[in-house]
Chains A and B, each alone.
Chain A
Amino acid sequence: DAGITQSPRHKVTETGTPVTLRCHQTENHRYMYWYRQDPGHGLRLIHYSYGVKDTDKGEVSDGYSVSRSKTEDFLLTLESATSSQTSVYFCAIANSGFDEQYFGPGTRLTVT
C-alpha cells in the first residue's frame, strides 16, 4: 500500500453519535478522497480535497463533513451517525485529479 493508512480499521457506534475517520498519507499527494462502498452501489465519492483547506462535495456528501488542515491528513466526520451510514469507507490519494488513485485499506463502520 502506497503510504496511506486509515484509522480506525473497524468501528461500531450508536445512532446519533459523532464519528471521525482519519486518513493519513506519507506520499505528499495533493488530492485526497473519501469513498463509501456498499453492495449494489459500487464505490461512491463522498468528498474530496485538492489541497490544504480546499475541499469539495462528491456524489453522496449529505450527512458528512471533511477537513484537511495539513497535506498528510484528511478527516471524514459523520456529525450524527445513522444506520444508513453503515458501510466500508475508503480513502484514496492522487497526484492530480486525472491520475491513478492509491487506496487505503478501508474502515468498516457499523452504526447500530
Chain B
Amino acid sequence: SQQGEEDPQALSIQEGENATMNCSYKTSINNLQWYRQNSGRGLVHLILIRSNEREKHSGRLRVTLDTSKKSSSLLITASRAADTASYFCATDGNAGNMLTFGGGTRLMVKP
C-alpha cells in the first residue's frame, strides 16, 4: 500500500501559472521528500522537509508540511514548459530505512 497519495493525479496548466500538488500520508514521519521524474528517466530529488519544519523554499519551489493533517503541498511558481514531468512525494514513515512513494502527479505545462 502507498504511504503517500498525491492529488491531483494529473494537472494541466499554461506557462507562467502556478502549479500546486498535494500529498497525504498515513503514519507519522521523520521527513517528507518530493521528487520529479521526466518521461523515461530516473527520479530526481527536489526538496526534503523535516517533520519539525512547516515550510521550505528552493528556487521556484515551495513545500509546506502539516503534520497534524498528515499532508504536504508542493507549489511551483511561474511554471515553465520544462517543468512538465511527474512529481512524487515520499515518506519514511515508521519503516526508518526506506521511503514509500505515492502514485505521483503528472504535470503538463503548455507553452
Contact = CB atoms under 8 A, between A and B. Distances in A.
Interface in A65-109: 90, 92, 97-106
Interface residues of A, number: 27
Nearest to A45: B98
A101 B31 CA distance: 13
Secondary structure class of chain B's binding surface, majority of residues: loop
A101 B45 contact: yes
Contacts of A105: 41-42
B97 A97 contact: yes
A106 B12 CA distance: 26
Q: Which of A35, A41, A100 has the most CB of B within 10 A?
A: A100
B90 to A, nearest CB: 8
A42 B88 contact: yes
Contacts of A44: 101
A18 to B, nearest CB: 25
B30 interface: yes
Interface string B21-63: 0000000001101000000111111001000000000000000
A97 B33 CA distance: 12
| Size range of the chain B interface in the assembly | 20 to 34
A47 to B, nearest CB: 10
B87 to A, nearest CB: 11
A97 B30 CA distance: 11
B42 A104 contact: yes
Interface string B91-107: 01000111111111000
Interface of A: 1, 31, 33, 35, 40-45, 48, 50, 56, 58-59, 90, 92, 97-106
Instruction: Report, nearest first, the 5 A-B pairs whose CB atoms are least far apart.
Output: A103-B42, A97-B97, A100-B45, A42-B103, A43-B101
Interface of B: 2, 30-31, 33, 40-45, 48, 88, 90, 92, 96-104
17 contacts: A35-B101, A42-B88, A42-B101, A43-B43, A43-B88, A43-B101, A45-B98, A50-B97, A92-B43, A97-B92, A98-B31, A101-B43, A101-B90, A101-B99, A102-B45, A105-B41, A106-B41
